[in-house]
Amino acid sequence: MKKIYLLFLFFTVLELTAQNFNGGFFAGPLTSQVDGDRLSGYDKSSFHFGFFTNRYFNNNMGFQMELKYIGKGSRKNIDVNKGITNFYLLKLQYIEVPIMLLFKYNDKFTFSAGASYGVLLKAQEDSDGNGFIEPFNPYYKGFEVAGQASFFYSLGEFISAEFRFSYSLLPIRPYPGNQSYYLDAGQKNNLLSLAIYYTFDNQDFND
């Protein structure tokens, strides 16, 4: 079912791109942490890549939809000098669909904000350096809803760079025993990402 759903989204992006929408692809690195795992710091590095399509309603406002693979998680290496004696590594792999509102400030800067829905493909956890196991007690949820905010900087007619902040709006994993602390009901993804976006020349599709 997940594969059918993702294929449908992929072909939707391609179809929109062909209907007077702009479209292209992007890729870049990211750094992440999981709030609520009793660790801190953007120590887990990964990458993301995918396709996008967008359209402007006027000279300043528009929207963008993406379909991408993205790696998230958390990491802490042993550092005796800092009192860190336990190794930890969490890898979370998602297929994600962000939908963003775009505000074009000028020819160089564009700001965006929106939300995303992600499907968890795989979760791996290594809590002692002896290899990965599937996390349990409790399990990670099979989906994620996250808020997104970013800005784009134009590097040329078809290329731009983006910096984005993403944070889970709902817990990705409850605390053991479904404990909660006021509004804190579980772990959440927290990440910063960079990406280079390449926009196809629409004339290539119209020739």
Q: What is the reported pLDDT for 106?
A: 95
Query: Cβ contacts of residue 47 below 8 Å, gap of 6+?
Result: 27, 28, 29, 30, 71
Token pair of 51 as six digits: 């396709």
* Domains along the chain with CATH numbers: 2-206 (2.40.160.20)
Instruction: Record the pTM.
Output: 0.85
Q: What is the reported pLDDT for 79?
A: 62
Mean pLDDT by 10 residues, the chain (207 residues): 54 55 94 90 95 92 95 81 73 96 96 97 87 83 97 96 97 80 85 97 56
In whole angstroms, give the CA distance from residue 69 to residue 66. Answer: 10
Listed in sequence order, the DSSP H helices in the chain are 2-17, 203-206
Token pair of 153 as six digits: 């900087």
Q: What is the reported pLDDT for 207?
A: 47
- Picking from 15, 13, 18, 11, the residue whose alpha carbon sits closest to that of residue 99 is 13
